[in-house]
Chain A
Amino acid sequence: MTAHHPHDHPHPHQPDLEDRPYDHHQLMAEAVGELLIEKGVFTAEDLRRTIEAIDARSPADGARLVARAWRDPAYRSRLLADVNAAAAELGVDAGAIPIRALENTTRLHNLVVCTLCSCYPRGLLGLPPDWYKERAYRSRAVREPRAVLAELGTPIPDDVEIRVHDSTADLRYIVLPLQPGGTDRLDEAALAALVTRDCLIGTALPQAPQR
């Protein structure tokens, strides 16, 4: 272990996040979790398995739905009608919360935010990125979406309407982006690889692969 150098000198101490005292909400979450296990409402294994299942969800599943919709107009209609059912067709369990798909066109760009907290289609895409939960995105996406998109490298022309979807209630939303030009010969897996997480939120557009 000490092959690199002798340990006769101190290293600067880099604090861990856990060095801070627990705040109120961390304490409450721990306490409620322990109580529910102690009272037999669920087991520690149930809790662990649920966390594992949540973390296993991935934007790649959303990308598969988009790629299928690009290649299959009938599937596209079913996806626009009911994302959860369309996901189930591909063997993806998108959870119980209803998800809707918002169709981009050459005249309309959709952007998803939750100004109240961090509502996100977790059942399909997994956990949201940290910036999605931050006040800067939550307040600015709805107040100056064009500036936010430009800063993220996705400027939207003025003749395209930007429609910001504030997911305030019982539904969750994904964007169905336009298929980039020059990708007609790609197979479904290659198309899905173009659809990143941010394309499904509306903060990016799928790009054709560089030749």
Chain B
Amino acid sequence: MSARFATGARVQVRRIFPPGHVRTPHYLRGHAGVVDSILGHYANPEELAYGRDGLPRRALYRVRFRQAELWPGYGGAQDDSVVADIYEHWLEPLEEVQA
């Protein structure tokens, strides 16, 4: 199966707030990060939570964010980061967002 984003790609988490069971933390929505690695394809938990089959499977990425960009006044070191596992349908390429 193919993945839309390559390792190293700049991506942005969609800033949307759908109801129901979602696995994308609020604090990351709308923020830019870099694809750290591609974890494979997994059934969509937003469907599985309601007894459906979760198909088609979604590409799952490890996306790395800079702490200093996530939190105003972050008190730690400049290089500190957060890595989260985000499904492809929650990500958009950064260029499209900026256009």
Contacts and interface: CB of A to CB of B under 8 A. Distances in A.
A159 B76 CA distance: 10
A147 B75 contact: yes
B83 A166 contact: yes
B76 A165 contact: no
B5 to A, nearest CB: 15
Contact of B25 (A146, A159, A168): A168
Interface residues of B, number: 23
B84 interface: yes
Contacts of B86: 168-169
A171 B39 contact: yes
B77 interface: yes
A8 interface: no
Interface string B56-92: 0000100010010001000111011111111100000
A169 B76 contact: no
A138 to B, nearest CB: 10
Contacts of A159: 77
Given A162-B80, A163-B80, A144 B85 contact: no
Contacts of B76: 144-146, 158, 162
B75 A168 contact: no
A127 B39 CA distance: 24
Given A144-B76, A163-B80, 18 more contacts: A142-B27, A143-B27, A146-B75, A146-B76, A146-B77, A147-B75, A158-B77, A159-B77, A163-B82, A164-B81, A165-B82, A168-B84, A169-B42, A169-B45, A169-B87, A170-B39, A170-B85, A171-B39
14 contacts: A143-B27, A158-B77, A159-B77, A160-B77, A164-B67, A165-B84, A166-B83, A166-B84, A166-B85, A168-B23, A168-B24, A168-B86, A169-B39, A169-B60
Interface of A: 115-116, 142-147, 158-171
Among all A-B residue pairs, the 7 with the closest Cβ atoms: A169-B85, A166-B84, A161-B79, A170-B42, A146-B76, A164-B82, A162-B80
